[in-house]
Amino acid sequence: MLLTNKLNRMLMKERRDISTYLKEVMDMKNKLKAFGEIIANKIFINIIVKGMLQSYKMMIQGITYIN
């Protein structure tokens, strides 16, 4: 449960590239999986987007609007 809370609170840090943030989030998901805690893809995507910097969120909104 502690790892799940940590995953839900993960935030992308200013001046860090997105690949570092995504690696950290994926590592946490894999730790949870090792303990038998499976995170559904839809929930995981929401966690990723929630933790992103605002500039990335705006870009994602633009992409999803186009599709």
pLDDT digits (tens, 9 = 90+) for 2-50: 888 999 999 999 988 999 999 999 999 999 999 999 999 999 999 999 9
Q: What is the pLDDT of residues 3-16, one digit of tens each?
A: 889 999 999 999 88
Domains identified in the chain, total number: 1
Concatenating the DSSP letter of every residue in 6-67 gives: HHHH--PPTT--HHHHHHHHHHHHHHHHHTT-PPPHHHHHHHHHHHS-HHHHHHHHHHHHH-
Query: Whole-model pTM above 0.75?
Result: yes
Structural domain of residue 58, as residue ranges? 2-66
